[in-house]
Amino acid sequence: MVLQNVPQFLVAVYGAWKLGTIVVPLNPMYKEKELRYFCQDSGGTIFFTLDEVASALDLSFLKETSVKRVITTSPLDMFPSEMELPDLLKGKKKISVPGTLDMLELLDRYKGKKVKESGLSPDDVAYLTYTSGTTGPAKGAMNTHGGIAFNARVYKTVLHMDENDIVLGVAPLFHVTGEVAYLAMAALTGIPIVIYYRFDPGETLRLIERWKATMTLGSITVYIALMSHPDIKKRDLSTLVKAYSGGAPVSPATVDQFQELTGVYIYNVYGLTETNSPSHLVPWGKRAPVDRETGALSVGVPIPNSVIKIMDLEDGTRELASGEVGEIVDYGPMVVPGYWEKPEETKHAIRDGWLYTGDVGKMDEDGWFYVVDRKKDMINVSGYKVWPRDVEDVIYQHPGVKEAAVVGVPDPYRGETVKAFVALKEGMEGPVRPEEIISFCKSRMAAYKYPRQVEIVSEIPKTLTGKFLRRVLRDKVQ
């Protein structure tokens, strides 16, 4: 499923589950190379996407996968006829894509038909949500129906959600946040979700006021974008009393600025795709403390029925005391059973049910947790994880590139952004400028992945054995 936040997402998910099918949600910004990998790795047989996405792709790549059918839908297909089109959808038209099936035509063709429900169990896989996880290229985390239902109940309980609440869907539905904090939690509670194709700060402010949204969960980038919008003081945000942020580090200063501007306090939440969204939450009505030593804002306390440890960074076998810094390790019903058809990666990340997150943190004497560093080279861009090798592989396709190394650099808006250090081949006709490398990557990668910064260097620093020293590059830009 390669969709924006449209009602068809929900229809397709529930339809697939009735048949016992696993859903693989993917980012509509992905290009053919990325989509080919996910289709091949998952073994997916139906490719369901927006007509505007399908028409922009060369769908011949699907011949190299197990996909048998392509179904398309227009973002206009299920938009309420009585409502005025928002700016995000104005100018869009339904597109006929040759060789594909149309969702509305299929629904009409099979109207009134029933299927024998598959009788799924809590242990069955609901989603394969792809994540780079703690190591390596993207892997399909097996989010089970039981794990999703458990954390939906966590959100409902800890946030005191009831029939008076309305969820604002600022995060993508293809992300674990949308899957659990929106769809599952709202279904469990029996409340509406406000969805609007994709995030736009002006539309977000309008919809909070229009529908009196009470709860949302998005990356801190969302809140920074709202603060920067000229309508921020014109809109009534007083109903948004359960504003949560996760997926990227949250600065205490940003929380203070947002509250001063809007009166809304941003609560922190921490988790991974492998924990079905939350493993830690700041309980509603509580203010997160700030760690005196690191200046980090607490990500909360462990969710109910979980056990969280801080383990040593050497081999992860020694539990550390409060105040000591180590790797965050999770255990509980929220942890996925593993990665799709990747037993070695599963064995590395999940040991006897304990998930080694790859994130470095600490717990204070009162039980509040703080994320203070990142163990691996992963780059976190607005809550999306970027693996440096993916970016480097594309850069190497440029004929003028000899060496390339990618690191994450601090970014006041995205949390982190991608920076590439590039060494050029000798004897190139004419200089290769950083802007050319950026443009080259932009046309071949998802928008959040391509490097926003490129620095041309004479040589990439290396170890004696020839490995790139990303640590040296990171130190250079800090």
Q: For residues 285-304, give the mean pLDDT.
A: 93
CA distances for 398 relative to 44, 395, 423, angstroms = 31, 6, 12
- Residues forming a β-bridge with 127: 23, 143
Q: Closest by alpha carbon to 356, among 342, 376, 383?
A: 376
pLDDT attached to residue 378: 74
CA distances for 406 relative to 44, 179, 393, 409, angstroms = 31, 30, 10, 10
CA distances for 265 relative to 213, 217, 253, 309, 369, angstroms = 15, 12, 12, 28, 19
Cα–Cα distance between 97 and 95 in angstroms, integer?
Answer: 6
SS (H, E, C) the chain: CECCECHHHHHHHHHHHHCCCCECCECCCCCHHHHHHHHHHHCCCEEEEEHHHHHHCCHHHHHHCCCCEEEEECCCCCCCCCCCCCCCCCCCCCCCCCCCEEHHHHHHHCCCCCCCCCCCCCCCEEEEEEECCCCCCCEEEEEEHHHHHHHHHHHHHHCCCCCCCCEECCCCCCCHHHHHHHHHHHHHHCCCEECCECCCHHHHHHHHHHHCCCEEEECHHHHHHHHHCCCCCCCCCCCCCEEEECCCCCCHHHHHHHHHHHCCCEEEEEEEHHHCEEEEECCCCCCCCECCCCCCECCEEECCCCEEEEECCCCCCCECCCCCCEEEEEECCCCCCCECCCHHHHHHHEECCEEEEEEEEEECCCCCEEEEEECCCCEEECCEEECHHHHHHHHCCCCCEEEEEEEEEEECCCEEEEEEEEEECCCCCCCCCHHHHHHHHHCCCCCCCCCCEEEEECCCCECCCCCECHHHHHHHHC
Mean pLDDT, the chain, whole residue set: 92
Question: pLDDT band at residue 430, thresholds of 50, 70 and 90?
Answer: low
pLDDT attached to residue 349: 94
Whether the predicted pLDDT of 465 surpasses 50 = no
Report the Cα–Cα distance between both ends of the chain, in Å, rounded. Answer: 38
Question: pLDDT band at residue 376, thresholds of 50, 70 and 90?
Answer: low
pLDDT attached to residue 394: 87
Q: For residues 345-357, give the mean pLDDT.
A: 96
Of the two residues 327 and 373, the one the predictor is more confident about is 327
pLDDT above 90 covers what percent of the chain? 74
CATH numbers and ranges of domains, the chain: 1-120 (3.40.50.980), 145-376 (3.40.50.12780), 379-477 (3.30.300.30)
Q: What is the pLDDT of residues 163-187, one digit of tens each?
A: 999 999 999 999 999 999 999 999 9
Q: For residues 338-356, give the mean pLDDT.
A: 96
Cα–Cα distance between 64 and 67 in angstroms, integer?
Answer: 8
pLDDT attached to residue 467: 58
Q: What is the largest CA-CA distance in the chain?
A: 69
Q: For residues 321-343, give the mean pLDDT.
A: 96
CA distances for 7 relative to 196, 472, 475, angstroms = 9, 47, 45
pLDDT above 70 covers what percent of the chain? 96
Whether the predicted pLDDT of 226 surpasses 60 = yes
pLDDT attached to residue 224: 86
pLDDT attached to residue 157: 97
Cα–Cα distance between 319 and 363 in angstroms, integer?
Answer: 12
Looking at 44-48, 54-58, 332-336, 411-415, which range is the least confident one?
A: 411-415
Q: What is the pLDDT of residues 243-279, one digit of tens each?
A: 999 987 788 888 998 999 999 999 999 999 999 999 9
pLDDT attached to residue 428: 64
Q: For residues 339-359, give the mean pLDDT.
A: 95
Q: For residues 287-293, give the mean pLDDT.
A: 92
pLDDT attached to residue 155: 98
Whether the predicted pLDDT of 137 surpasses 90 = no
Q: What is the pLDDT of residues 184-224, one digit of tens each?
A: 999 999 999 999 999 999 999 999 999 999 999 998 889 98
| Token digits of residue 42 | 């998952």
| Token digits of residue 399 | 């004929």
Q: For residues 91-107, give the mean pLDDT.
A: 96
Question: pLDDT band at residue 134, thresholds of 50, 70 and 90?
Answer: very low
- Residues forming a β-bridge with 102: 72
Using an 8 Å Cβ cutoff, are 179 and 10 in contact? no
Strands 326-331 and 354-363: antiparallel
